Chain A
Amino acid sequence: MHFEYKVEGGDFTNAGTTSSEVKKMLKQLGVNPSIVKRTVVALYEAEVNIVAHAYRGTIFVDLEENSVSIRLEDEGPGIPDIDKAMEQGFSTASPEVREMGFGAGMGLPNMKNNSDKLIVNSVVGKGTTVEIINYF
């Protein structure tokens, strides 16, 4: 089953809508609660990344009998060095932002920890595509 959701950059009020919808569906399918949790945590993180950094994005969700694949495509600044961004603690955030507890450099590593497969592609100045796959 295939679903599409739109995400607006800067709309923090509605960030999490897609994760909530996906959660509802996984629960209806009777997917193991811990896998539901992992998927929702990874997706939420990715969704908020679009809201925080990109102009807009689309989330494509594909539900199969034994897996869920989520592709998040955004139009935004892109990530210059993906390998670095995957490192735990790496962050481009200013000290002021870090002071507030954001930009701890845990975003991508956290997504990686909560997904069976994570693929990140990015073109600077154009946008980023994140793919999360979790198996049931």
Chain B
Amino acid sequence: MEYIHHALKFKYDLCIGCSHCTSICPTCSIHVEDGRPILDSNRCIDCGMCYQICPMNAIYIEQDDFETIYNYKCPVLLIPSIFSAQFPEKVSQRAILSAIYHLGFEYVYEVEKSVDILKEEINEHLRDDDAEKPIISTFCPAIVRLIQVKYPSLVSNLLLTKPPLNVTAIYIRKVLTEHGIKPEDIGIFYVAPCAAKIAAIKSPVGEEKSNIDGVINMNYLYNKVFRVIKQGEYTLREDEFDFHPISRNSLLWSLTGGEIKDIPWGRNLAIDEVHNVSDFLDKLENEDLDGIDFLELRACDESCAGGILCAGNRFLIAERQRKRARKRPKTVTPEENNILNYKKFLRSNMSVGEVYPRSMDKLDDNISVAMRKMKKVFEITNDLPQVDCRICGYQTCKALAEAVVNNTADIRQCFFVQRILEQTDKLTTTEALKITRKVWGEIKLDKDSIKHLDLK
């Protein structure tokens, strides 16, 4: 089976086995065993809902060791423009940029530098009458994975184009080599606002290998930069202080509605938050919704401003970003934004290979086995209480039924089933406890203070 990398990891020493993560997962990829969450790697789309809901901060997002930037003679930072919108208003772009340079980077580029070029590419795809409509954006990697696992029939609608971060990375490598820097000396580090972007870099969909050398979590860099600024350790740089001059709408790209802003015709929708996206894709799969040309779909509420690695409130981040964008000109010239001089080269290098579905709904590879299993799942689900209480360790009664059919769970994990069996002497309390302990571990069922509670 294909190895799928996930950026989200559990810290079992902090986990109290509360199963909030199980309840929120949009692809039902987490169940509880022995008091700990277990991730189904084939289902997880790295959206990070579990990371946000975890009350114990027991889920972390892996990143590369920051020190690895020093392994390269020319470390380059590729940073989403949303980064600076996390800082309070009074911290200037110039200070932020200077502090980043202070950390040891040779060059700093904003990801959205390539957006103007990408937009041309999208518009061209939209004009292509043979393209399957609606074209679905591949900007948000959690959405790409969602479609792979949950909406296999829509995989052919995905726009097979690299996202801005990879296009800008191609440009950086090209332009720096032209300036005489050896390719092996260039290390491009991307600042990730979410887990999905990290997963997409570590195991890209539709590509062999990513052109990014390392990943730094956005909240990690935010803290590091803020400290440098607060302590005033850096020297203000005289050069460029609004990063690089990119156009107004490029700065708005990562916010909700950013991709459809410059599509001058047709029916285009922007939808954010993963459950909203699922609702819409369900509809799209059912009724052939006529005449929709383009779908911008983002897993996070408020898109990248709501990225799980962003520091602060997503609405405030989006507002600051819009404010910064307002100050930018509508269009920029190739003299201002050098990447535009490389348009032809980049456009011929921005497509990605085919994306394959890997349906999570499929009960078995063999259709007659799948059929038998489906029948059983129906029967078992009907016998279960349908309250989706999660005491069995699964998100829903149906999820337990599926696990039972696949021989990975015991129907007696269900609290209601246990009570029913106890009434008819088919299960003893000791046996029932043993089964429940297997799901929730020892601690939750051995609270001495409760055992000796005086109920009189």
Roughly how many angstroms separate A1 CA and B363 CA in the complex, as a whole number? 15
Q: A29 and B363 in contact (CB under 8 A), knowing A34-B153, A63-B371?
A: yes
B window 334-387: CB within 8 A of A:
357, 359, 361-365, 367-368, 370-371, 374-375, 377-378
Instruction: Evaluate contact between A1 and B286: CB separation under 8 angstroms.
Output: no
**B288 at interface, CB cutoff 8 A:** yes
Tell me the dominant secondary structure on chain A's binding face: helix
**B120 at interface, CB cutoff 8 A:** no
**Set of chain A residues within 8 Å of B287, measured between Cβ atoms:** 16, 19, 41, 44
Chain B interface residue count, Cβ-Cβ cutoff 8 angstroms: 23
Q: Which of A20-28, A81-89, A125-133 contacts B (4 or more CB under 8 A)?
A: A20-28
Roughly how many angstroms separate A127 CA and B252 CA in the complex, as a whole number? 55
Give min CB distance, B440 to chain A, whole Å. 29
Roughly how many angstroms separate A13 CA and B108 CA in the complex, as a whole number? 52
Give min CB distance, B158 to chain A, whole Å. 13
**A70 at interface, CB cutoff 8 A:** no
Instruction: Evaluate contact between A28 and B286: CB separation under 8 angstroms.
Output: no
Interface residues on A, range: 20 to 34
**A95 at interface, CB cutoff 8 A:** no
Give min CB distance, B374 to chain A, whole Å. 5
Within the complex, which residue of B359, B365, B368, B371 is in contact with A27, where a contact is CB–CB below 8 Å? B359
**Set of chain B residues within 8 Å of A63, measured between Cβ atoms:** 371
Q: A20 and B286 in contact (CB under 8 A), knowing A25-B374, A27-B362, A34-B153?
A: yes
**Set of chain B residues within 8 Å of A111, measured between Cβ atoms:** none
Query: Which residue of chain B has the shortest Cβ distance to A63 in the bound complex?
Result: B371
**B282 at interface, CB cutoff 8 A:** yes
Roughly how many angstroms separate A44 CA and B155 CA in the complex, as a whole number? 21
| A-B residue pairs in contact (CB < 8 Å), sample of 18 | A20-B282, A25-B374, A27-B359, A27-B361, A28-B361, A28-B362, A29-B363, A29-B367, A29-B370, A29-B371, A30-B363, A30-B365, A30-B370, A33-B357, A34-B153, A41-B288, A65-B367, A136-B367
- Interface residues of A, Cβ cutoff 8 Å to B: 1, 16, 19-20, 23-25, 27-31, 33-34, 36-37, 40-41, 44, 63, 65-66, 136
- Other than A28-B361, A30-B359, A33-B357, give 4 A-B pairs with Cβ distance below 8 A: A19-B287, A28-B362, A36-B153, A136-B367
